[in-house]
Amino acid sequence: MFYSADNAKLLIDGKEILASTAQISLGANLSPNYSITQRHTNDYTAEGGVGGQLSFTYYLTGADYFKTFITGQGETGIERPTEDIYTNPISGNFGGLNFESGYLTSYSVNFSPNSPASANATVNFFDYARGSFASNSTAPPENTQMLNFSQASVVGEFSSGTVDSFVAGTYNYASEVFPVYLMGETRPSTVSFGPKTVNMNFEIDNPTGYLPFSGARSKITVNLKNSAGSEVDSFECSGVMNSRNLATAVGDYIK
């Protein structure tokens, strides 16, 4: 029997997500076993535990829940007692398949004029996915307002040069998370967190190639508003502008 997207709910920490796409993938870390006289084999050995990844695109409706994990996961260090090995783990359930210890490893928002505000998120988990698919055709939550960038405003602060108008852009976040296994384990006893990075890319209306050799201190804030004009969410990146590009194509404008 074939099912449609209407039959699968996406829940993160028990909260239903208004997703437009979703995918969960599982993988085993296997390596082939060869003898010294063989060039082929049917034998494989596990080199790590089972893990998976949940990726989805969802609509922004207000204060974005996933932004809390950008500063909320992995910020207390890795020296933790055994009963507290996971720092703010994410639980997920997609169509009945579920996991309890996930970590936000990538997150992005595309800023496009007059378009619904949506984000892409990827959650990695280092365990089995439990449960099995279960059809669910209940209606999504009512009275939920999806935000649109037609009500957004952008504020840019630059140590040198000016920007008059922003056309489009992206907000990107990435985090490195590594499982740590003890002998005889297939589920990690702890995880270690690597660097986190946040960056913004923007298309602007003033073509210039000015960029100091040391970069330029910059701060960009995107404010999302509802239909009543009230600010309900924002995205901010403060750092150093380190590249500029000038391009065009036949029939297109200079950007």
* pLDDT, tens digit, 9 for 90 and up, residues 179-209: 888 887 778 888 888 888 999 998 887 776 6
Top pLDDT among 102 and 71 is at 102
pLDDT on residue 89: 84
pLDDT on residue 161: 64
Measured in whole angstroms, the distance separating CA 118 from the mean position of its chain's CA atoms is 11
| Separation of alpha carbons 83 and 251, rounded Å | 61
Top pLDDT among 119 and 166 is at 119
Q: With residue 59 as reference, give the H or E element that holds it.
A: strand 51-59
pTM for the model stands at 0.83
pLDDT on residue 160: 67
Q: What is the pLDDT of residues 103-144, one digit of tens each?
A: 999 999 998 888 999 999 999 998 888 888 877 777 766 767
Query: Tokens 């920007």, residue?
Result: 163
pLDDT on residue 69: 84
What is the biggest distance separating any 2 CA atoms in the chain, rounded to whole angstroms?
73
Top pLDDT among 109 and 29 is at 109
237, pLDDT greater than 50: yes
Looking at the chain, the whole-number percentage of residues with pLDDT higher than 90 is: 18
Identify the burial level of 39 via C-beta atoms within 10 angstroms of its C-beta, where 0-12 means exposed, 13-18 middle and 19 or more buried. Answer: exposed
Given 3-state DSSP classes, what are the helix, strand and coil percentages for the chain, each rounded to the nearest 5? 5, 45, 45
Measured in whole angstroms, the distance separating CA 219 from the mean position of its chain's CA atoms is 21
Give whole-number Cα distances, 212 to 43, 162, 250, in Å.
57, 14, 30
| Separation of alpha carbons 60 and 66, rounded Å | 10
pLDDT on residue 85: 41
| Separation of alpha carbons 216 and 138, rounded Å | 51
| Mean pLDDT estimate for the chain | 83
| Separation of alpha carbons 174 and 26, rounded Å | 21
Query: How would residue 172 be classed by pLDDT, with cut points 50, 70 and 90?
Result: very high
Top pLDDT among 238 and 83 is at 238
CB 123 within 8 A of CB 54: yes
